[in-house]
Amino acid sequence: MSKNPIGIFDSGIGGTSILKEIHTLLPKENIIYLADSKNAPYGNKSESEILQLSIKNTEYLLKQNCKLIVVACNTATTNSISYLRKSYSVPFIGIEPAIKPAALNTATKTVGILATKGTLSSQLFHQTSNLHAHGIKVIEQVGEGIVPLIETGNLESEEMKALLQTYLEPMIAQNIDYLVLGCTHYPYLIPMLTEMLPKDVKIIDSGLAVAKQTKSILASNGILNTSTNKTSVKLYTNGNIEVLNSILNHQFDTSYFDF
Ligand code: DGL
Given a contact cutoff of 8 angstroms between Cβ atoms, the answer to whether 37 and 258 are in contact is no
CA of 50 to the centre of ligand 1 (A): 10
Q: What is the pLDDT of residue 167?
A: 98
Q: What is the pLDDT of residue 117?
A: 98
Q: What is the pLDDT of residue 13?
A: 98
- Domains recognised in the chain with CATH numbers: 6-94+207-256 (3.40.50.1860), 99-204 (3.40.50.1860)
Q: What is the pLDDT of residue 108?
A: 98
Instruction: Pick the atom of ligand 1 nearest to 14's CA.
Output: 1
Q: What is the pLDDT of residue 228?
A: 86
Low-confidence residues of the chain, pLDDT below 70? none
User: Best substitution site from 20, 147, 238, 244 to test ligand 1's pocket, by max atoms within 8 Å of Cβ?
Assistant: 147
